[in-house]
Amino acid sequence: MYNLRVLSTLTLVLLLVQTMFSKSIDRHALVTRHNVVLRAANVNSPLSVGNGEFAFTVDVTGLQTFEDAYNRGIPLSTMSQWGFHTAPNPKGFSLEKFPLTLKETYGRKVPYLYYEKGKSPAEMEEAANYLYGNPSRLHLGRISMALMTTDGNLAKLTDLTEIHQELNLWTGQISSHFTFDGETVKVITCCHPDNDQIAVRIESALIAKGQLSVMIEFPYGATAFNGNGADWNHPVAHQTIMTRKGLLRADFARTLDADHYNAALQWSNGSTLNETSKHGWKLSANTHTHTIEFVAAFSPNELPVNLPGVSETENVSIVTWKKFWSTGGAIDLSESTDPRWNELERRIVLSQYLTRIQCSGSLPPQETGLTCNSWYGKFHLEMHWWHAAHFALWGRSELLERSLPFYQRILPKAKAQAKSQGYDGARWPKCVGPSGDPAPTYLESFLIWQQPHPIFYAELSYRSHSDRQTLEKYSELVFETARFMASFAFWDKNRGQYIIGPPFADAAEIYFSDHENQWNPTFETAYWHWGLETAQRWRERMGLPREPKWDDVIAHLTPLSTKDGLYVDAETATGTFSEPGRNTSHPCVLAPLGMLDGGMADRETMRRTLHKMMESWDWNNTWGWDFPMMAMTAARLGEGETAINALLMDKPKNTYLPNGHNAQMGEILPIYLPGNGGLLYVTAMMAAGWDGAPKGNAPGFPANGRWTVHSEGLKPAP
């Protein structure tokens, strides 16, 4: 007979444990303890407001007053998903006219859109550069303060004192306070959640003195690899037509070559707008006013007659951000005794804010989001996973799914690309703009690890809402992607195996100089297996038979490549740990058991590989998403302490700035949102688990008693 007293005590203990793990998180406290507070100008940490389609990045004045100073750090821009500019093309360069390069592939010539300086004919260079650089993302307009000293000189950044700027994450508002010329200036800046519009309120005695006014100026588009997308040196190359719509409203019709968009400024009583230059206007208040309020809106189409005012925009921002933080996932680490908890939690919270405003729009984001440009403002489809897959694990699948219609829109082009190369299905490009057209470059056309991504996105969406509607919505993407993958795998009858490549460029981009003599990459082979198996499950869910060809490929892929008991990059690239200079860049050999579920991986081989990487990898020459990638593998192997060490490793490209951005490569690539997105994916895994994870709370965190993890609203990873 059982002892009832003992059973009663055990029941009480279990209830207490359950209560501890199910403790409701004070989300307001969790979020606001990580509000960004700046007490000095920091050109590497400007703050942004946005909504996923549009973002406005500001300096310590709450506007874009000191653009030149911030261009040395993180530039100040006004950017959108739709705002691109195409430079004049007098020579008529086009993809259709660009000569394709034939690559030998198992006895047949396959055409690729390839250009590499020094290897390709020199006469291809001008066309290749134009096609790569156009279109470029555009700075839609600078909104700044005209701050004047009493003797009429423009303010310098160093003239500002008593700076206190705060991003209130709970409301999505930036409050900026500073002193200039003996007077206090207070600014509130926020973004409308549904419109490409900011709202600003400025209070200062300097306004009545005529020392503070607001400027709105429009640049030409810069065809530049990086920067803020603005060219201020060619005022005659573009056109701005201002029209009045009442006493308190002005509209601006913008024309840059063949591109057009609209902007509008709407302000409060007591202010007047006057033209100051060909593309610039000043908003000034009268001598009895200490306040300037205005909204500024941008659109590719005609703007509505009535714009939401400042108060309305502020209110809807507060409501929208409160809803964002109050729903979806949350992780609270505040009861942990490990001193690193606060920094990890800060990164998690700020990464949610940044990916919400930068990575949740209708297009896949560029690596610098809507903050500034990288790769001419284009986006990399292999990086889309790292920007946005986490939304599904955080209970916000709709934010991932906003960008999936892009793949459906360019599906005909992807199918045409596959067909032109003799493959079935749809072959997805790598580096593209809104049209989905690739550019001729040395690497992009050979990269293949983005191919299974649409299957992964569809699977995440199905796990969020497992219904017939979701299956039908994304089945074509899944099946056409799988058709290409199965077609790309080559049957080697002598080996009795399917071969991946050549040509291909590996995800780590280490062996990209020799596309034609590389095959069976470790990560890509595992991803082919996972993608095809997942596509088969989709067929089964829809009541369709499994595709025999897909099953044949799944069953006959080559085993993952090893050397000396460790996983290596590829069958033809085994020097990952033995050749100088190969233990660098992305540690992608970890992905088969980490990012993926380990369907082709041996756990102990992967454990040895992980430990070897921790000891000897060139971590100074990695990228921001590599640290979360390593943590995913550590978590699945039950090595929570290694996962934490990876996430918080003190290395240059694992730096998270005061504004929450993952710092990367200075002026070339100042911020790197794949790092933020990867961090969110792995921490959701560590807190909520994954398919087949050990039972219990936070299976990916260390079980050393120093981490207390409260989480809610998260979903397990595949």
| pLDDT of 15 above 50 | no
22-31, 55-64, 134-143, 204-213, range with the lowest pLDDT: 22-31
Could you give the angle at the alpha carbon of 619 between the alpha carbons of 614 and 621, nearest 5°?
A: 155
Residue pair 213/154 in contact by the 8 Å Cβ criterion? no
pLDDT, tens digit, 9 for 90 and up, residues 498-550: 999 999 999 999 876 788 889 999 999 999 999 999 999 999 999 999 999 99
pLDDT, tens digit, 9 for 90 and up, residues 595-653: 999 999 999 999 999 999 999 999 999 999 999 999 999 999 999 999 999 999 999 99
φ/ψ of 656, rounded to 5, equals -115, 115
| pLDDT of 114 above 90 | yes
> Which has the closest alpha carbon to 238: 264, 215, 258?
258
Question: Which CA distances in Å does 637 have to 420, 614, 678?
Answer: 42, 14, 18
Confidence of residue 13 (pLDDT cuts 50, 70, 90): very low
Angle between helices 404-420 and 453-464 (to 10 degrees): 150
- Backbone φ/ψ region at 623: left (φ over 0), alpha (ψ -120 to 50), beta: beta
Gap between the Cα atoms of 661 and 671, Å rounded: 6
pLDDT, tens digit, 9 for 90 and up, residues 299-358: 999 999 999 999 999 999 999 999 999 999 999 999 999 999 999 999 999 999 999 999
Gap between the Cα atoms of 556 and 613, Å rounded: 29
Instruction: Give me the residue label for tokens 């003996």.
Output: 182
Gap between the Cα atoms of 411 and 418, Å rounded: 11
Provide the pLDDT for residue 667. Answer: 87
Beta carbons within 8 Å of 334's beta carbon, 6+ residues apart: 30, 33, 341, 342, 345
Range 23-49 average pLDDT: 97
pLDDT, tens digit, 9 for 90 and up, residues 544-577: 999 999 999 999 999 999 999 999 999 999 999 9
Alpha carbon of residue 334 to chain centroid: 27
3-state DSSP assignment of residue 697: coil
1-10, 28-37, 195-204, range with the lowest pLDDT: 1-10
Confidence of residue 10 (pLDDT cuts 50, 70, 90): very low
Gap between the Cα atoms of 31 and 332, Å rounded: 9
Provide the pLDDT for residue 512. Answer: 66
pLDDT above 90 as % of the chain: 93
pTM of the model: 0.96
Provide the pLDDT for residue 20. Answer: 44
Range 31-43 average pLDDT: 98
pLDDT, tens digit, 9 for 90 and up, residues 408-436: 999 999 999 999 999 999 999 999 999 99
Gap between the Cα atoms of 351 and 334, Å rounded: 17
Beta carbons within 8 Å of 599's beta carbon, 6+ residues apart: 526, 529, 530, 533, 592
| pLDDT of 23 above 80 | no
Confidence of residue 22 (pLDDT cuts 50, 70, 90): low
Gap between the Cα atoms of 403 and 382, Å rounded: 14
Where does 522-625 have alpha helices with state H? 522-541, 548-556, 603-616
Gap between the Cα atoms of 471 and 533, Å rounded: 16
| pLDDT of 9 above 70 | no
pLDDT, tens digit, 9 for 90 and up, residues 241-257: 999 988 999 999 999 99
Confidence of residue 2 (pLDDT cuts 50, 70, 90): very low
11: exposed, middle or buried (C-beta count within 10 Å: 0-12, 13-18, 19+)?
A: exposed
Gap between the Cα atoms of 346 and 336, Å rounded: 14
> Which has the closest alpha carbon to 677: 334, 454, 367?
367
Domains and CATH numbers, the chain: 36-85+135-320 (2.70.98.50)
String of DSSP letters for 653-687 = GG-B-TTS-BEEETTTEEE-HHHHHHHHHHHHHHH
Range 646-672 average pLDDT: 96
pLDDT, tens digit, 9 for 90 and up, residues 119-129: 999 999 999 99
| pLDDT of 8 above 90 | no
Gap between the Cα atoms of 214 and 64, Å rounded: 10
Provide the pLDDT for residue 362. Answer: 98
What average pLDDT does the chain have? 95
Range 673-698 average pLDDT: 98
